[in-house]
């Protein structure tokens, strides 16, 4: 069996749904860390690493938000694959000539193989690549944003928020773990359920969790209180994809998010907050799910709707005590010119009207 064949077995695409079985996400990732002391051999250095983060992917979306909020754009360059991929890898089809301009690669797979020639698992985003060696360092999406917040502090912008405050870490960790299994991955458990009984169980679990979050957001602006934290960075990418994708495509259709006043206004609030909505490409999101997941959408037809222009309407979240950026914190600057989302892929244009 060739290396390419082995990769296809654990690929980013393929058969997600197995008859009669629940969806089981492979949570084994490259767990090397980039730290201030370089204890894993990867010290934090401005300009040394490149973040590969497709806008379509919710796990990658987290890293784009964190990078923006903390002001790491100049220290950590970003490469953005297109919204779809084949059995082998995410590809850089949005770049001129289909090649990442820094790494010189057509496929993210090449960065993985540069370090692990027999890499046996999925070629996933986000991934951080060491530019001098053009080899992947880590794809541990659970750890990457925590390290951005705690290990990259010397490169943070002035006024960067503390997204992982020491006094709240235990509660943030518990909430994040719960959200991972019940919400962030919960939507996938519903969408890739292999049978009616499995589907109904996961559907009920997901909606019970969303109801809990609706209640939690009834007395506070953000998940942890008056200020933004890592928990908000992790929930938002799931919520912004809910009505365009998870509601219909994943059959999580008890009700659209727009009918849940706290969750929907919270989503609008974050979408309108610098660093969140300006990382979202609604067209790429829809193309990714509806084209790649042939198991559940064999026609690969991408829906025109829903109308998402409501994201730009007024929200009611400022009725709560608010200190969005924390003590001494400020909003990030606008995105770099090269990283501005295509205006045609924003709520005013990606609609069902």
Asked if pLDDT for residue 118 goes beyond 80, the answer is yes
Instruction: Say if residue 231 is in the same domain as residue 83.
Output: no
264: helix, coil or strand?
helix
Percent of the chain with pLDDT over 90: 92
Asked if pLDDT for residue 192 goes beyond 60, the answer is yes
Domain presence at residue 161: no
Considering 57, 112, 203, 222, which one is annotated as catalytic? 57
Instruction: Say if residue 187 is in the same domain as residue 100.
Output: no
Across all residues in the chain, what is the average pLDDT?
A: 94
Domain presence at residue 20: yes
When divided into structural domains, the chain yields a total of 2
Instruction: Say if residue 143 is in the same domain as residue 214.
Output: no
Asked if pLDDT for residue 138 goes beyond 50, the answer is yes
Domain presence at residue 24: yes
Domain range enclosing 110 = 3-155
Peptide bond into 312 cis (omega under 30): no
Mean predicted confidence (pLDDT) in 100-123 = 96
Q: Is 329 in contact with 235 (CB distance < 8 Å)?
A: no
Q: Which residue has the tokens 């919960």?
A: 186
Tokens representing residue 29 in the block: 């990732």
For the segment 163-183, what is each residue's pLDDT rounded down to a tens digit? 999 999 999 999 999 999 999
Asked if pLDDT for residue 2 goes beyond 80, the answer is no
230's enclosing H/E stretch is helix 230-240
Q: Is 110 in contact with 33 (CB distance < 8 Å)?
A: no
Tokens representing residue 47 in the block: 């300009």
Measured CA to CA, the distance from residue 336 to residue 185 in angstroms comes to 31
Measured CA to CA, the distance from residue 326 to residue 275 in angstroms comes to 15
Residue 103: phi and psi, rounded to 5, are -85, -25
Instruction: Say if residue 85 is in the same domain as residue 135.
Output: yes
Instruction: Say if residue 96 is in the same domain as residue 142.
Output: yes
Considering 49, 112, 164, 188, which one is annotated as catalytic? 188
Q: Tell me the CA distances in angstroms from 115 to 100, 112, 136, 221, 259, one per residue in order.
A: 18, 6, 6, 43, 47
Classify the phi-psi angles of 14: left when phi > 0, otherwise alpha if psi is within -120 to 50, otherwise beta: left
CATH code for the domain in which residue 322 is found: 1.20.1050.10
Taking residue 141's Cβ as centre, other Cβ atoms within 10 Å add up to 21
Instruction: Say if residue 51 is in the same domain as residue 8.
Output: yes
Domain presence at residue 160: no
Instruction: Say if residue 212 is in the same domain as residue 132.
Output: no
Instruction: Say if residue 131 is in the same domain as residue 221.
Output: no
**203 flagged as catalytic:** no
Helix ranges restricted to H, the chain:
3-9, 58-70, 109-115, 141-150, 169-179, 186-191, 196-216, 230-240, 261-271, 282-292
Could you say which of 128, 155, 182 is where a domain stops? 155
For the segment 27-85, what is each residue's pLDDT rounded down to a tens digit? 999 999 999 999 999 999 999 999 999 999 999 999 999 999 999 999 999 999 999 99
DSSP 132-149: TTTEEEE--HHHHHHHHH
**119 flagged as catalytic:** no
pLDDT of residue 12: 45
Instruction: Say if residue 151 is in the same domain as residue 175.
Output: no
Is residue 95 packed enough to be buried (19+ CB in 10 Å), middle (13-18) or exposed (0-12)? middle
Domain presence at residue 164: no
Mean predicted confidence (pLDDT) in 343-348 = 94
pLDDT of residue 333: 96
Measured CA to CA, the distance from residue 30 to residue 127 in angstroms comes to 9
Q: Is 231 in contact with 172 (CB distance < 8 Å)?
A: yes
pLDDT of residue 13: 42
Measured CA to CA, the distance from residue 213 to residue 129 in angstroms comes to 35
Instruction: Say if residue 173 is in the same domain as residue 117.
Output: no
Instruction: Say if residue 116 is in the same domain as residue 251.
Output: no
For the segment 294-308, what is each residue's pLDDT rounded down to a tens digit? 999 999 999 999 999
Q: Is 49 in contact with 129 (CB distance < 8 Å)?
A: yes
Comparing CA positions, the residue from 83, 85, 75 lying closest to residue 157 is 75
Comparing CA positions, the residue from 10, 31, 16 lying closest to residue 142 is 31
Tokens representing residue 169 in the block: 């870490």
Domain presence at residue 174: yes
Residue 83: phi and psi, rounded to 5, are -75, -15
Instruction: Say if residue 41 is in the same domain as residue 83.
Output: yes
Could you say which of 155, 179, 203 is where a domain stops? 155
pLDDT of residue 1: 30
pLDDT of residue 87: 81
Asked if pLDDT for residue 14 goes beyond 70, the answer is no
Taking residue 104's Cβ as centre, other Cβ atoms within 10 Å add up to 10
Domain presence at residue 350: no
CATH code for the domain in which residue 63 is found: 3.40.30.10
Q: Is 309 in contact with 269 (CB distance < 8 Å)?
A: no
Could you say which of 130, 155, 180 is where a domain stops? 155
Measured CA to CA, the distance from residue 26 to residue 11 in angstroms comes to 11
Is residue 85 packed enough to be buried (19+ CB in 10 Å), middle (13-18) or exposed (0-12)? buried
Domain presence at residue 352: no
Tokens representing residue 144 in the block: 């990457």
């Amino acid at each position: 069996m060739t290396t390419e064949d082995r990769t296809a077995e654990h690929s980013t695409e393929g058969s997600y749904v197995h008859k009669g079985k629940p969806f089981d996400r492979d949570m084994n990732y490259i767990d090397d860390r980039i730290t201030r002391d370089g204890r894993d051999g990867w010290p934090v250095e401005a300009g040394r690493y490149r973040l590969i983060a497709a806008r379509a992917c919710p796990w990658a979306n987290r890293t784009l938000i964190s990078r923006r909020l903390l002001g790491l754009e100049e220290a950590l360059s970003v490469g953005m694959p297109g919204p779809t991929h084949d059995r082998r890898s995410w590809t850089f089809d949005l770049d001129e000539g289909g090649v990442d301009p820094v790494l010189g690669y057509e496929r993210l797979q090449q960065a993985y193989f540069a370090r692990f020639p027999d890499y046996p698992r999925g070629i996933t985003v986000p991934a951080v690549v060491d530019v001098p060696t053009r080899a992947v360092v880590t794809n541990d999406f659970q750890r990457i944003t925590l390290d951005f917040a705690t290990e990259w502090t010397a490169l943070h912008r002035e006024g960067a928020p503390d997204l992982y405050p020491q006094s709240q870490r235990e509660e943030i960790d518990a909430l994040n773990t719960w959200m991972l299994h019940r919400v962030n991955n919960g939507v996938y458990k519903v969408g890739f359920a292999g049978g009616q009984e499995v589907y109904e169980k996961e559907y009920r679990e997901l909606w019970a969790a969303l109801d809990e979050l609706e209640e939690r957001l009834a007395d506070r602006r953000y998940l942890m209180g008056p200020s933004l934290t890592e928990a908000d960075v992790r929930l938002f990418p799931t919520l912004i994809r809910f009505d365009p994708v998870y509601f219909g495509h994943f059959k999580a259709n008890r009700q659209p998010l727009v009918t849940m006043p706290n969750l929907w206004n919270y989503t609008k609030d974050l979408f309108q907050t610098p660093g969140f909505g300006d990382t979202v490409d609604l067209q790429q999101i829809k193309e990714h799910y509806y084209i790649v997941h042939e198991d559940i959408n064999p026609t690969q037809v991408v829906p025109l709707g829903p109308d998402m222009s409501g994201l730009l309407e007024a929200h009611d979240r400022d009725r709560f005590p608010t200190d969005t950026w924390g003590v001494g914190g400020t909003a990030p600057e606008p995105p770099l010119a090269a990283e501005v989302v295509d205006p045609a892929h924003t709520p005013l244009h990606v609609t069902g009207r």
